[in-house]
């Protein structure tokens, strides 16, 4: 909706609805208009015959005049009553009351004979006519005989007039309008008539004041009713979107502009439209303007209301908004919503109604903004608190550690999802819950006493779990001084089952590494002692060469174990570079067989090597791959029964070398196969077989470092097959 051509003005006159729409009155006003257009000559007031009126008639007339304007607040009705009473003491044939509207006088009431007169005549105050002159000079105007000036005689009317009297209507210095009286005879108005006319004007002025006061009271009541409704509406919700929408609806309801938009002011001074009405509301919502941009930005920056009757003539107007939405914004009234000296939002009325009074609008919008400011701020604060509480609740509920809130009697006040799954409070008694928390018996009482001298009470305990592995927890109990009821306590437990298991595993690993190193070390020590004794005793029967071989193999075994542990850590961190060379794979496999031969001989096992004839050269880190084969063969030898068979197969295709080491041992259970290549993992079938749990992890890391892959195939009781592939052509980054 576009505004009318004339912009809203600050006015103190009567509103448009105070108009006399009676057809007979319109006809009379038309006659008056034609006469006024010709104008009166400003002539000196002449002495006229004094009309004989009794004192009683005058007093009766004035009494009727007084009662007329206190019995009704309708100006048109009051004016007609006053003019009817005036005619009893003043000899006039027609009369009109014209009121000021801006730079014009508009006829509001006609009394007397009918004539040809345009509807709602308007007289420009700058015209040369008696009504305008009386208004401008604020002096009575008397025309004794208009017939002496034929050029001003009215044409085309059936009501000739000869005398005229104009009385200005002024209240406390404010120019309200003019009372015009007309007579058909020359010199019709006497001095007495003019004095009574002047007296009656006071009643007309009083009627105007009464009507204005009534209008002011009605507007005040309507405004108070609106603001009361606004206060109730805005305080009825703590949802910021609903508050803004209600503020928008209230503005639309009272002022009825073409559209309303509300923008929130961000911390950096920029504005974001959060609510809007009208045909482009969906395009306005979410629109973001930089600090100080547009009329909204100016209001946000200066904290002042602004009325812009012609937006395209105002440099502050953000034309791009209209270009973006396709809407034509012709006028804007924008008001700030201020909280504690800071503008938090801006209300913007687009294309307000034509008869909008800026002064009244400013007052009502200011009051509405004062009501909206705390509502918006409270809603924002509530949402911030609500969101913070929701985030805290989410963190509390989804915490991976079980958390329980207890009162001083041990009753559960709140607990998160992990605690619910752990404690099963639905079917457990309070004492069962305390037991599951590691506070059985007097434990909770002792913990409360300990908290009197320390901030946190910490302990470790193991919780038996039916049909599952027992779980070990490190529990913390702290006081919650601001939690209701008070005192309350928070129990939080960290599941340290894996940590305890890891520490146990590391301890076992240390023992296994010590054991694995002690065996070959003892062999070396024993061999050296025998050689030393033979040397001292000159014993030539001692097998020195054999003892040296035993010492060498034992030292090499220790070296491989130490290098395996070190290289495993380096490979995991990506810190072990590969020393890539090309070598004969058949030679490497025979070296591996030779290294493993003492163990094979000791256990009376047979190694079958199924190799292709004349295989091509292979690229890789010779030392790492040698240890891979040695580890896999050593692992197969350990788990193959005495006298068993071990197969080492090799196959070649266009892209890869494939190797497999197969034993006929007990096999590996399915539930252990997924973690068989993890560090420090040893299967349940190992029994008394010693090992560090590092070998297979090393093999996996070494093969993957070459761009290959390794896997296990096993069925319980049918042995295990470890297979891996190596690419025939290594990736460029490895070469």
**pLDDT on residue 276:** 87
Has residue 534 been placed in a domain? no
* pLDDT for position 13: 34
Residue pair 289/271 in contact (Cβ under 8 Å)? The answer is yes
Kind and range of the H or E run holding 109: strand 104-112
In DSSP terms, 261 is beta-bridged to 276, 348
Q: Is 313 helix (H, G, I), strand (E, B) or coil?
A: helix
pLDDT on residue 64: 55
Residue 225 falls within a domain, yes or no? no
- Of 495, 516, 539, the last residue of a domain is 495
Q: What is the pLDDT of residues 386-429, one digit of tens each?
A: 888 888 888 888 888 999 998 888 888 888 888 888 877 666 77
Q: Is 360 within 8 Å of 285 (Cβ atoms)? A: no
- Please spell the DSSP secondary structure of 320-353, one letter per residue: HHHHHH------EEEEEEEETTEEEEEEEEES--
Contact 672, 696 (CB under 8 A): no
Answer yes or no: do 603 and 728 share one domain. yes
DSSP assignment of 182-194: EESSTT---HHHH
204 HSE (CA, 13 A, CB side): 31
* CB-CB contact of 228 with 216 (8 Å): no
- Are 316 and 190 in a shared domain? no
Q: Both 677 and 645 in a single domain?
A: yes
pLDDT of the residue at 393: 82
Tell whether 524 is covered by a domain. no
* Rounded Cα distance, 208 and 424, in Å: 83
pLDDT tens per residue, range 148-166: 655 444 433 344 678 888 8
Same domain, 164 and 83: yes
Q: What is the CATH number of the domain that holds 669?
A: 3.30.565.10
pLDDT of residue 467: 66
Residues 250 and 158 in one domain: no
Q: What is the pLDDT of residue 681?
A: 65
What is the sign of the dihedral through the CA atoms of 220, 223, 227 and 229? Answer: positive
CA distances 544 to 458, 529, 548, 597, Å, are 62, 11, 6, 20
CATH number at residue 419: 3.30.450.20
560 Rama sector, left if φ>0, alpha if ψ -120 to 50, beta otherwise: alpha
Same domain flag for 34 and 174: yes
What CATH number is attached to the domain comprising 338? 3.30.450.40
Of 284, 274, 270, 276, the C-alpha closest to 251 is 276
Q: Cα dihedral sign for 24, 27, 31, 37?
A: positive
- Tell whether 120 and 73 lie within a shared domain: yes
Return the pLDDT at 160: 65
Per the DSSP assignment, residues forming a β-bridge with 163 are: 183
Task: State the residue range of the domain holding 87.
Answer: 23-217
Would you say residue 82 lies in a domain?
A: yes
Whether 615 and 483 map to the same domain: the answer is: no
In this prediction, residue 544 carries a pLDDT of: 83
Total structural domains within the chain: 4
482 & 606 share domain:
no
Say if residue 165 is in the same domain as residue 246.
Answer: no
Domain boundary among 152, 183, 217: 217
| Residue 428 within any structural domain of the chain | yes
Going across the sheet that includes 271-276, the strands are 288-289, 271-276, 259-265, 342-350, 332-339, 306-308
Model pLDDT, residue 37: 42
Rounded Cα–Cα distance for residues 350 and 362 (Å)? 15
The verdict on residue 526 lying in a domain is no
Q: In this structure, are 630 and 689 located in the same domain? A: yes
Q: Does any domain span residue 393? A: no
- CA distances 238 to 249, 250, 386, Å, are 17, 17, 10
| Strands in 679-733 per DSSP E | 709-714, 720-727
Q: Which residues in the chain come in under a pLDDT of 70?
A: 1-75, 113-120, 147-160, 215-218, 220, 354-355, 425-427, 466-467, 505, 508-516, 519, 575, 679-693, 735
Bridge partners of 98, per DSSP, are: 107, 178
| pLDDT of amino acid 530 | 83
**Is the pTM for the entire model greater than 0.75?**
no
- The verdict on 79 and 176 lying in the same domain is yes
Domain termination residue (choose one: 495, 513, 539): 495
Residue 517 lies in a domain: no
């Amino acid at each position: 909706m576009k505004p009318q051509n004339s912009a809203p003005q600050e006015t103190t006159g009567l509103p448009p609805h105070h108009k006399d729409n009676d057809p007979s009155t319109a006809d009379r006003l038309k006659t008056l208009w034609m006469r006024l257009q010709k104008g009166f000559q400003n002539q000196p007031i002449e002495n006229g015959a004094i009309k004989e009126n009794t004192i009683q008639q005058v007093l009766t007339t004035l009494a009727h005049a007084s009662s007329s304007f206190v019995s009704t607040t309708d100006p048109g009705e009051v004016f007609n009553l006053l003019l009817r009473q005036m005619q009893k003491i003043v000899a006039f044939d027609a009369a009109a009351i014209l009121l000021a509207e801006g730079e014009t006088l508009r006829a509001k009431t006609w009394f007397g004979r009918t004539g040809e007169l345009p509807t709602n005549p308007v007289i420009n105050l700058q015209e040369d006519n008696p009504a305008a002159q009386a208004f401008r000079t604020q002096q009575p105007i008397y025309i004794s005989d208009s017939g002496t000036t034929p050029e001003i005689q009215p044409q085309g009317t059936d009501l000739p007039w000869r005398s005229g009297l104009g009385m200005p209507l002024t209240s406390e210095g404010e120019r309200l309008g003019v009372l015009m009286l007309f007579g058909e005879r020359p010199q019709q108005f006497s001095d007495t008539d003019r004095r009574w006319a002047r007296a009656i004007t006071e009643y007309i002025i009083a009627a105007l004041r009464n009507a204005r006061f009534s209008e002011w009271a009605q507007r005040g009541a309507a405004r108070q009713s609106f603001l009361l409704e606004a206060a109730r509406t805005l305080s009825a919700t703590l949802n910021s979107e609903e508050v803004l929408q209600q503020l928008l609806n209230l503005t639309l309801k009272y002022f009825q502009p073409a559209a309303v938009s509300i923008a929130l002011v961000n911390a950096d001074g920029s504005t974001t439209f959060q609510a809007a009405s009208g045909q482009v509301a969906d395009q306005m919502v979410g629109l973001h303007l930089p600090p100080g941009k547009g009329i909204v930005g100016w209001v946000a920056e200066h904290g002042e209301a602004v009325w812009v009757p012609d937006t395209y003539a105002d440099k502050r107007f953000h034309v791009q908004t209209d270009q973006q939405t396709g809407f034509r914004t012709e006028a804007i009234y924008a008001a700030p919503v201020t909280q504690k000296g800071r503008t938090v939002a801006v209300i913007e009325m687009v294309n307000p109604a034509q008869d909008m009074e800026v002064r009244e609008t400013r007052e009502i919008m200011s009051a509405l903004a004062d009501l909206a400011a705390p509502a918006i701020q409270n809603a924002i604060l509530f949402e911030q608190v609500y969101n913070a509480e929701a985030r805290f609740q989410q963190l509390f509920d989804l915490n991976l550690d079980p958390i329980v809130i207890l009162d001083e009697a041990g009753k559960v006040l709140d607990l998160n999802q992990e605690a619910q799954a752990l404690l099963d409070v639905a079917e457990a008694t309070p004492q069962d819950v305390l037991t599951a928390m590691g506070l059985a018996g007097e434990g909770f009482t002792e913990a409360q006493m300990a908290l009197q001298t320390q901030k946190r009470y910490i302990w470790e305990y193991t919780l038996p779990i039916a049909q599952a592995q027992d779980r070990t927890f490190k529990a913390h109990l702290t006081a919650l001084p601001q939690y209701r009821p008070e005192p309350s306590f928070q129990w939080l437990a960290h599941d340290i089952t894996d940590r305890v298991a890891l520490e146990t595993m590391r301890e076992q690993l240390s023992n296994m590494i010590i054991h694995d190193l002690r065996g070959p070390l003892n062999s070396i020590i024993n061999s050296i002692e025998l050689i030393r004794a033979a040397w001292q005793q000159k014993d030539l029967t001692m097998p020195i060469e054999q003892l040296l071989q035993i010492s060498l193999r034992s030292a090499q075994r220790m070296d491989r174990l130490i290098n395996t542990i070190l290289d495993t850590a380096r490979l995991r961190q990506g810190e072990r570079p590969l020393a890539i060379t090309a070598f004969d794979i058949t030679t490497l496999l025979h070296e591996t067989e030779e290294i493993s031969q003492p163990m094979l001989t000791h256990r009376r096992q047979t190694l079958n090597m199924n190799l292709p004839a004349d295989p091509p050269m292979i690229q890789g880190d010779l030392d790492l791959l040698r240890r891979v084969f040695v580890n896999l063969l050593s692992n197969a030898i350990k788990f193959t029964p005495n006298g068993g068979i071990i197969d080492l197969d090799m196959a070649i295709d266009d892209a890869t070398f494939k190797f497999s080491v197969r034993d006929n041992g007990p096999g590996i259970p399915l539930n252990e196969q997924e973690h068989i290549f993890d560090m420090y993992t040893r299967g349940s079938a190992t029994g008394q077989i010693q090992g560090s749990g590092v070998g297979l992890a090393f093999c996996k890391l070494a093969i993957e470092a070459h761009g290959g892959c390794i896997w296990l195939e096993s069925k319980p009781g049918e042995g295990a097959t470890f297979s891996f592939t190596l690419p025939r052509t290594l990736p460029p980054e490895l070469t």
